[in-house]
Amino acid sequence: NAGVTQTPKFQVLKTGQSMTLQCAQDMNHNSMYWYRQDPGMGLRLIYYSASEGTTDKGEVPNGYNVSRLNKREFSLRLESAAPSQTSVYFCASSEIAGVGVKGTQYFGPGTRLLVL
Amino acid sequence: LAKTTQPISMDSYEGQEVNITCSHNNIATNDYITWYQQFPSQGPRFIIQGYKTKVTNEVASLFIPADRKSSTLSLPRVSLSDTAVYYCLGREVYSGGGADGLTFGKGTHLIIQP
């Protein structure tokens, strides 16, 4: 049981390049999330998917797109990377998008992205 | 949707009890208070959650007074490995599911010294 996995672990991009961050969970969770964390800052929600087939914007969605490929996988795409997108990206999942035990989020190890 | 305020940093020593207080003056009836812990280079990890009074698990205790305008995370007998960032979140219940309130803020950086 691997929990939440993310690939790649590290990535360096040039401004204008595109890339997709992959996230998968093996806990049969309905809800999945993408966050970014900048130095000295907390986590900010980019997009989330409350259930398979749905996606919604979070606090900082500009410059990103997401795809809920199936129940297990939720990808984050940067179409044209900018230096302001240099950050650590975390994927998370939970049984439901709510509170209580079922709303507890489980996080992946993160992807460190540098945009030059 | 509760806006939470917590200290930026705290110091303590091994073996001490540490209490981190979070203020949430505009907490709503449906808001739960949830705490997460984050070690360097890792994603956050759930610690404890509560609605009112006291909740205790194997890791920590959470005290929420009757007016629910603040809450206190209590870590008993801390060790060096408890050095981490601790986040307090106010989460609102939506019967249909939702992710409003998923704002982690800057958290409290707890440093435990020998």
Cβ pairs A/B, distance under 8 A: 74
Summarize pLDDT for A29-55 with one digit per residue, the tens: 999 999 999 987 788 889 999 889 899
Task: Give chain A's contact residues with B (Cβ, < 8 Å).
Answer: 4, 30-31, 33, 35, 40-45, 48, 50-51, 56, 58-59, 90, 92, 96-101, 103-110
Distance from CA of A80 to the nearest CA of B (A): 26
Query: What's B80's DSSP letter?
Result: G
What is d(CA A25, CA B58) in angstroms, rounded to the nearest whole number? 26
Query: At residue B97, does pLDDT exceed 50?
Result: no
DSSP string, A92-109: EEESSSSSSGGG--EE--
Q: Among A14-28, A100-114, B96-110, where is mean pLDDT lowest?
A: B96-110
N-term to C-term CA, chain A: 36
- The per-residue pLDDT for A103 is 80
DSSP string, B15-31: T--EEEEEE-TT--TTE
- The per-residue pLDDT for B1 is 46
Give me the percent of chain B exceeding a pLDDT of 90. Answer: 60
Neighbours of A15 (CB within 10 A): 12
- The per-residue pLDDT for B99 is 54
What is d(CA A113, CA A116) in angstroms, rounded to the nearest whole number? 10
Summarize pLDDT for B23-62 with one digit per residue, the tens: 987 777 777 888 999 998 899 999 999 888 899 999 999 9
Reference B104, options B12, B37, B15; nearest CA is: B37
